Amino acid sequence: MIQVFIYAIIAIGFVILLKIASKNKSKWGIHLKRVHCPVCQTKQPIVRMPKNGSQALWGGTTCPKCHTNLDKYGNVIP
């Protein structure tokens, strides 16, 4: 019974940390909304195809129109 309580506290703590990271727009957060390219204002596809390891690991995409690298929040990656 105590193990279930401990696992529940760990799971709740993990969910709280993800919500805080998402609100602060850190790389650990989760972003489920579609983004627009800040350069050409093109809406990015729902299903993304990562072009490099960083995009695959942390999220993000490359704009199909202007080839700008974007993170999962729609910010330009230099």
**Could you tell me the maximum CA-CA distance found in the chain, to the nearest angstrom?**
56
pTM for this model (two decimals): 0.67
pLDDT (0 to 100) of residue 11: 95
Two tokens, residue 74: 């729609």
Two tokens, residue 3: 């193990």
pLDDT (0 to 100) of residue 8: 95
CB 61 within 8 A of CB 53: no
In this predicted model, what pLDDT tens digit does every residue of 11-47 receive, in sequence order?
999 888 888 877 778 777 788 888 899 999 999 988 8
What is the chain's Cα-based Rg? Answer: 16
In this predicted model, what pLDDT tens digit does every residue of 36-78 receive, in sequence order?
999 999 999 888 888 888 888 888 899 999 999 998 888 998 8
pLDDT (0 to 100) of residue 48: 83
